[in-house]
């Protein structure tokens, strides 16, 4: 199955109110072309899960400035003045999650695991209202898995069936974002017309629904 489409086609059926898992780490490895296409698409009331929300004028910051994001789940929210303004004005709902916990919640979502216990966050405001259970001599916080309607990720190379190879920071959240979503779209630097060798593939195409070639 040839999964290669244009950026506009890749996001054409994304509805208002969709939940998005967006890859990247800081400003590295982000699916900037797909984010721009989604901005042009006009979808709004988006609930986004990503390590951060870009910066003013770049990455997810573009969707934020346009008022398209209503809820953000992140581990880092600095360096974005518009993010701070919207949050303080009550225009944006925010859930802060430790970075490792965020990655594990996404991995659990993709694996069909509904929740798990972690010691991270115990005794802090991050554990407020959450179930706490003691195992041995330590207290653990119950964290629920994250899954979404759509994942947008950046990879380095893909073949036409969607097998992906990542490069550096693209690997940080890309695979778990893709597996946690009902529909995953990858923008890539290079598309191979030949199937990628099995040993090179870092995310099998079974998890990827659409592939977009970008420079």
Given pLDDT bands bounded at 50, 70 and 90, which one contains residue 77? confident
| Mean pLDDT value of segment 176-201 | 97
Q: Which two tokens stand for residue 30?
A: 């982000």
pLDDT > 80? residue 215: no
* pLDDT digits 0-9 by tens, 157-174: 999 999 999 999 999 999
Per-residue model confidence (pLDDT) at position 27: 87
Pairing of β 164-165 and β 148-159 = antiparallel
Per-residue model confidence (pLDDT) at position 43: 95
Q: Please give the mean pLDDT across all residues of the chain.
A: 96
* pLDDT digits 0-9 by tens, 32-72: 999 999 999 999 999 999 999 999 999 999 999 999 999 99
Full DSSP string of the chain:
---B--HHHHHTTPPTT-EEEE--BTTBS--HHHHHHHHHHT--SEEEE-S---BTTBTHHHHHHTT-EEEEEES---S-HHHHHHHHTT-SEEEE--HHHHHHHHHHHHHT--EEEESTTTTSGGGTTS-EEEETTEEEEEEE---EEEEEEEEEEEETT--EE--TTHHHHHHHHHHHEEEEEEEEEEEESSPPPTTT-SB-GGG--EEEE--
Per-residue model confidence (pLDDT) at position 78: 80
Distance, first Cα to last Cα, the chain = 23
| Mean pLDDT value of segment 179-189 | 98
Q: Are 106 and 97 in contact (CB under 8 A)?
A: no
Per-residue model confidence (pLDDT) at position 4: 98
Give me the helix-helix angle, 99-111 and 170-180, nearest 10°. Answer: 40
Q: Find tokens 């721009």 and name the residue.
A: 36
Model-level pTM? Answer: 0.94
What distance in Å separates the CA atoms of residue 75 and residue 98, rounded to the nearest whole number? 5
* pLDDT digits 0-9 by tens, 45-54: 999 999 999 9
What distance in Å separates the CA atoms of residue 189 and residue 21, rounded to the nearest whole number? 20
Q: Which of 160, 169, 171 is nearest to 209 (CA)?
A: 160
Q: Which two tokens stand for residue 71?
A: 């809820």
CATH code, 7-113+147-213: 3.40.1080.10
Q: Is 111 exposed, middle or buried (0-12, 13-18, 19+ CB in 10 A)?
A: exposed
């Amino acid at each position: 199955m040839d999964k290669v489409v244009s950026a506009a086609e890749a996001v054409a059926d994304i509805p208002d109110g969709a939940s998005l898992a967006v890859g990247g780490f800081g400003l590295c490895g982000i699916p900037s072309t797909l984010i721009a296409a989604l901005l042009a698409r006009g979808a709004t009331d988006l609930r986004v899960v990503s390590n951060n929300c870009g910066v003013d004028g770049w990455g997810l910051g573009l969707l934020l400035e346009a008022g398209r994001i209503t809820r953000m789940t992140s581990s880092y929210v600095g360096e974005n003045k518009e993010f701070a303004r919207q949050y303080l004005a009550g225009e944006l709902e925010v859930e802060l999650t430790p970075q490792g916990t965020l990655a594990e919640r996404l991995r659990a979502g993709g694996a069909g695991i509904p929740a798990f216990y972690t010691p991270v966050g115990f005794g802090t405001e991050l554990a407020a209202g959450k179930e706490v259970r003691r195992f041995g001599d330590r207290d653990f916080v119950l964290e629920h898995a994250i899954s979404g309607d759509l994942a947008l990720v950046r990879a380095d190379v893909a073949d036409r069936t969607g097998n992906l190879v990542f490069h550096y920071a693209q690997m940080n959240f890309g695979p778990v974002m893709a597996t946690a979503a009902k529909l995953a779209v990858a923008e890539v630097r290079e598309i191979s017309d030949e199937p990628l060798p099995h040993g090179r593939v870092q995310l099998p195409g079974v998890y990827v629904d659409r592939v977009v070639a970008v420079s």
